[in-house]
Amino acid sequence: MYLIVGLGNPGRQYAKTRHNTGFLLVNHLSARHGIKLIHRECLSRTGSGIICGQEAVLARPVTYMNLSGKALARLVKKYRIQPACLVVVHDDLDLRPGQIRLRTGGSSAGHKGTQSVIDCLGTRDFIRLKIGIGRPAGKTGEDEIIDYVLGEFGPGQAALVASALPRAADALECLMGEGLEAAMNLFNRSFAPDSDG
């Protein structure tokens, strides 16, 4: 069984923000595979179904981003998920808008949702699917970065991220059907064009 968790912030005011890219992909998977997120459990909205012949649970935590690990820890315990079958989907400032990357292990690279997951699970050895949102030009202060990730996509970025969602879903399906290495080799090589939107 796979557990696929998109990170984000609950509430309508955050629905279209860059930091909710993980939620966007889980919503895409939900629609693609007919898996409705109708259950409320483990501080999350969840749904279960079959993806590529594998049992899968999709989840969106209802905690805020910085407390995502609390929900993940409960879900992992309830469903007895091994790290190799846990996929955490989140936005990434260091990837260009629309670029996707699969990896396992490593640090949080400053992503507070991912750091919360690492802290609560006590391991870094889970799969991450990162979707690029780019960095704001000329802005490096912490408050500026927070404003950026909690802001909505510009038109150019929105189009790039929207086009990335089917590719990211394809990458997860490849992972589940053919394994992590095959999915990384196929999908980590693709790059999205630059956008100033």
Where in the sequence numbering do the catalytic residues fall? Answer: 19
Name the residue among 88, 73, 68 with its Cα closest to residue 3: 88
- Please give the full DSSP string across the chain, using - where no structure is assigned: -EEEEE----SGGGTTBGGGHHHHHHHHHHHHHT----EEETTEEEEEEEETTEEEEEEEESS-GGGHHHHHHHHHHHHT--GGGEEEEEEETTS-TT-EEEEESS--TT-HHHHHHHHHHT---SEEEEEE----TT--SHHHHHHHHTSBPPHHHHHHHHHHHHHHHHHHHHHHHH-HHHHHHHHTT--PPP---
Phi, psi of 99 (to 5 degrees): -75, 140
